A and B are shown apart, each in its own frame.
Chain A
Amino acid sequence: MDFLYYPGCTLSTTAKQLDTYARLCAKELGIGLEEVKDWQCCGAVFPLTSGQIGPKLAAVRVLVQSRDKNKPLITLCAACHHVIKQVNHQAKNDAEFREIIKNYDAQLTYAGEATVYHYMEVLRQYIGFDAIKKMTTNPLKGRKIGAYYGCLLLRPSDVMQFDDAEDPRMMEDFIRALGATAIPYPMRNECCGGYRALQDEEGTRTLCERIIASALSHGVRTVVTLCPLCQYQLTAAAGGDLDVCYFTELLAEALDIDDDE
């Protein structure tokens, strides 16, 4: 299965391991990734851009490419996924928005024809967790892993349609497929406060400390994330009490893939 791959800015800078292992695993699993040509920053803050067209144009261009190449779009960073999926939803359902896009650039006629997947959704839907379990050559036996979903992938749930926003299960299934013990803890779908990290440092830290404390109290030893922003926040709050890593790192470990390059 071939996809158009949108990495996003963070993945080429601070979150390289999220990107690297995703590409290596994709090769192993038979997922074809073609990187989007001339991609730009996704705009990163969909909820804050209502009424503005500028920050959404990059996402529209990516979506147009996906449609024209007839390849579904695959994303990795939760924030990018959120923005692109929301823009796609708006293009599909909001005629005024479509008009604004066209007025901005007559070449851009887009009505939400593309399909957007998060890498995790592709694993579930196109590979299947059972198949991944069979391909696991280095099962993560005995590892107590707690998934951290955050909020961007889950909400608004009618648009994102990732998992039950109040009681998500998908990543626990993923963790079990890798041979580890999945520990669901109550705060796994709470916001890390990432968006407000610069304005309200203390408030954000409190949120992250609660998430870490909730994971620790349930016996979690490793927290796995899907988002560079969450990863950054939680690593700081964990202070070495538990490991925080990307889901692609875990997947690579279980598939016994090394980053030799």
Chain B
Amino acid sequence: MSFASYMAKRIVRMVLSLVAVSMITFTLLQMAPGNFADIQRISAGAAQFGGAGTEDMVHAFASRYGDDIPAWRQYLIFMKGAATWDFGPSYKYPTRDVQDIIAQGFPISATIALIAVAISLVIAIPIGMFAALRQNSPADHGTMFVITLGTALPNYLTGVILVVIFTLTFGILPSSGWSGPEHMVMPILALVLGPTAVLARYVRSSMLETLREEYVVAALAKGGRQSVVITRHALRNSLIPIVTVLGPLLASLMTGTVFVEALFRIPGLGLFFAQAAASRDMPLLMGTALFFALILMTMNLIVDLVYGYLDPRIRAAGGVSRWRSQKRLSRQAA
């Protein structure tokens, strides 16, 4: 199968998935108790409803969807816009289009996510290798114990601890805002711990599995130095399973980490997503949900392409799933 037809198939599948995601999200939103106007009224107090702010809002409503149209028509109108990357104005921020909110928030969330995951990888690979090479030794158990603590500590708690240390005690880092590199340090640190722990565990188990492979013995039997055999023969092959976790991990961080963004008051995408869900802001919620789905699927596509790069067998089979099914068939035949 050619690469072009492979990509075409994947993209068709992505579009179908996006339609499904939109339908499910919209249905769930319809089923959720309350609507945008109710929630605004409750949170702002009944007296304010009908004031200047809501005038805008009602106007935005009317101009885009008309008054009191049935839900299915709202959906169709939204999707018609969405098809051309026009999600329309948000209910809550009537002066801004959802795609502008995404365009503004996503780079911030993505920057934090990319840096955090990159740092996690750089730390996790040596830690995982270290532990694997000393399997069942005190060093291995000690490392894995610390790593487990890392997984158990939620990132908002790490964030709070960081604020206590760097802002309240030493006063060297600002605790909130988003205007310079000094604002990035603590959110990234807070985010690094969890993925590092997860990745280090994966690297360790994957490395242990690879070290048992006969081609590692064969390379040693050719006179390879242990370090050379590990880096040239074992590492690359043990990274293949890591790529699988890396895709979704990156996607979930890139689309915003609600707690950390809220804690450090970072205008990332996670914050908007959370607000949209809480206030039943249909265009914003639909827009961000579709965008999240798109990012996740793109990440999975990239993962599969990286797979092919790392493992020529997958490249030859034309994708991971085909390779897996071929492997299954040949195993059944054997």
Q: Check if A and B associate.
A: no
